[in-house]
Chain A
Amino acid sequence: ETGVTQSPTHLIKTRGQQVTLRCSSQSGHNTVSWYQQALGQGPQFIFQYYREEENGRGNFPPRFSGLQFPNYSSELNVNALELDDSALYLCASSRDRAGTEAFFGQGTRLTVV
């Protein structure tokens, strides 16, 4: 196990709703990144949080937002859900913002209907 935990494991939402996904990073890690993985695809980088600040962002619209807390846990919020938002959402923590070894959680499977 990586020590990165995500909740919930599965979630079903209706189009137009809002969702919050949670991630607890591995002990000693101050950086959290979020990825979206569509079925049969590789994960796509959404954004990264380092010491409670957004530190980098991929090609995702502003309705994808996040937070990092003083204990380095993190939330991913998605507003105005669309059917294409259905995916596995992965959280990865790392010891610092530039390292290569990131530890992934098991993900949250979001289904938008």
Chain B
Amino acid sequence: DGGITQSPKYLFRKEGQNVTLSCEQNLNHDAMYWYRQDPGQGLRLIYYSQIVNDFQKGDIAEGYSVSREKKESFPLTVTSAQKNPTAFYLCASSRTDEQFFGPGTRLTVL
């Protein structure tokens, strides 16, 4: 069954802690993306990667970091430098003009 998995589904973090969100895909897609979703807003692009070992900042990259060591995996780290990290995070992948989305991770800072 091909698709994108994200874990965990819910994540709680204390202020000052770094946390890493997992994203895995078995669709054999080259490109992968991380978005942030806040209530009443559309999705905003954090980082994207077109190929292994390469990634680029999106529109709101400050306070986040990523890696792309394998084609299937694109983890996102939310660092303590991100001032307002509570949000719903969505990972996506694409080969052509259609992006496929994972189920999301809801991060809450306590």
Do these two chains interact?
A: no
- A interface vs B, CB < 8 Å? none
B residues in contact (CB < 8 Å) with A = none
